[in-house]
Amino acid sequence: MIALLVILLTVGYILVLGFSLWILIEYWMVIDVPPAIVHTMKFRILHSYGHLIFKWGCILEKLRICSMPRFCQFALHLQLIRKDPRVVVTNLRFGTISVRLFQPKAVSSCPRRGVIFYHGGAAVIGSLDMYHNTCSFLALKTDSVVLSVGYRKLPDYHHPVSFRDCLNATVHFLKTLDTYGVDPSRVVVSGDSLGATIVAFVSQALVGRTDIPKLRGQILVYPALQGINLQLPSHQQNKNVPIPLTELMIVLCRYFTIDPSWKDALLKGACVPAHIWEKYKKWLSADNLPERFRYKYQAEFPAPFNEAAYLETRHAFEVENAPLIADDQIIAQLPGALIVTCEWDSFRDDGLLYKKRLEDQGVPVTWYHAEDGFHGCLALFSTILFHFPCCEKIMSAIVKYLRDI
C-alpha cells in the first residue's frame, strides 16, 4: 500500500513538473522581450513564473480545488518585510478597511506631507505586505506620513468594493489629518496599475467636496483608465509583452462581473455602440497620441457592433470605471498630477491620453516616461532577485515630485 502511494505521488509529481515545463517553454517562445530591458533573462524568468502561477490557478479552479485568485495570492504574496527602525508602522482599521500607517520616527517641527497609496494587482494580487517596503521607503525619503490602503478584492469581492473602500478610507483620513500630524494643504493620492485607476476615480469623486481638505496632487503610475478602446497603439505594439492584455482581461472580466465569453468583443470594440464612440473618440482616439507612439499601428476600431455584448458589458463604460471620459468641468478641477508611463505596457496610451486631457484643461502635469519600463515594475522595487533599473528610476521620479510639494 505504501509502495503504491509512493508510486502515485511520484507519477503525480512528474506529471505536474512536466506540464509546468511545457507551459513555461510555450510561453518562453511566444513572449517578446523588449530590447530596452537590461536584464532580459531575468525578465523572462519573472514573467514565465507569473504565467505559470496564473495557468495553474486556472487549472485548480476548473478542478474545483482552489479559486484562481486565491492560488495566485498564495503563490505571489511571499514578500519579505524589512523593518526600518527609522519608520514607525501602525496597522489600523477604518471600519471594515485595513490600512497601514508609515510615519518617520524623527521629530518634525511642523505637520508633514500626507501620501495615500493604493496598491496595484488587478484586484487579484497586491497587499499591504507586498507594498510594505515601498511605502516605508517613500515615508522615509520624502519625510511624509504614508497611508497604505488594503482594499478588499477578488475572489470574495467584486467591483465597486475596491474603489469604494479606497474612497471611504481617503475621506476618513482627510477628516482626521490632525491625528496623524499631516498638513491638510499637502495631501497626495498615489497608486500603480489598478491603484492608479483608483487614484483617478478618487480624485474625480472628491471634486467639489467642501467638508474635507482638497487634494494637493495625484500620482498615477502606469494607469488603466478606460475599457472602451482596447485597440490603441500600445495594445497592439505590446500584445506579446508581459503582462499580456488577453490574460488581464480574464481577471478584469471577473472583477467587473462580466462573462469571460465577451472578452474578444471587449478587445475588438464590438460592444461599443456608434453613439458612444462618436461621443468619446475625441478623447480616446489614437489621433490624440504623439506621433512617436503610433508606430506599427493599424486602425481597426471599433469592430461591427454586437448588441448582446454591449448589454452585458455596458457598466464598464461608466465614468466611474473609465475616468478618462469624465466631463471637462470635472477634469478642470483636478489637482496637479505626476503621470508615469512605461514604453512596454499595454496601458501606456491611457496615461498619455489622460495627460493630454489634464493639460487641455489647464491642470499642471509632470510626466515621466520609462523607456525600459513595463507594467507592474513598481511592485518589484524592494525585491532583490527581480529588481530592474526602471524600478529605481520610477521611484526617483515619485520622490522628486513629492519633495516639490
- The Cα–Cα gap between 86 and 104 comes to 6
Instruction: Choose the catalytic residue: 183, 345, 349, 372.
Output: 345
- The Cα–Cα gap between 297 and 240 comes to 15
**Residue 317 · residue 282 · CB < 8 Å:** no
**Residue 254 · residue 269 · CB < 8 Å:** no
- The Cα–Cα gap between 216 and 186 comes to 5
- The Cα–Cα gap between 293 and 229 comes to 16
345 flagged as catalytic: yes
Phi, psi at residue 5, to the nearest 5°? Answer: -65, -40
Identify the DSSP state of 252: H
Burial class (CB in 10 A: 0-12, 13-18, 19+), 218: buried
By DSSP bridging, strand 217-221 and strand 182-192 are parallel
- The Cα–Cα gap between 10 and 120 comes to 38
- Report H helices in 93-160: 132-142
The gap between the terminal CA atoms of the chain, to the nearest Å, is 70
Strand, helix or coil for residue 202: helix
Helix (H) or strand (E) holding 210: none
Burial class (CB in 10 A: 0-12, 13-18, 19+), 324: buried
User: Degrees (nearest 5) of the Cα angle 166, 71, 21?
Assistant: 130
**Residue 223 · residue 194 · CB < 8 Å:** no
Instruction: Choose the catalytic residue: 48, 183, 375, 382.
Output: 375
Q: List the beta bridge partners of residue 188.
A: 115, 217
- The Cα–Cα gap between 176 and 325 comes to 32
136 flagged as catalytic: no
Q: List the beta bridge partners of residue 97.
A: 94
Instruction: Choose the catalytic residue: 98, 193, 234, 346.
Output: 193
Query: CA nearest 191: which of 141, 151, 142?
Result: 151
- The Cα–Cα gap between 151 and 93 comes to 11
What residues are labeled active site?
193, 345, 375
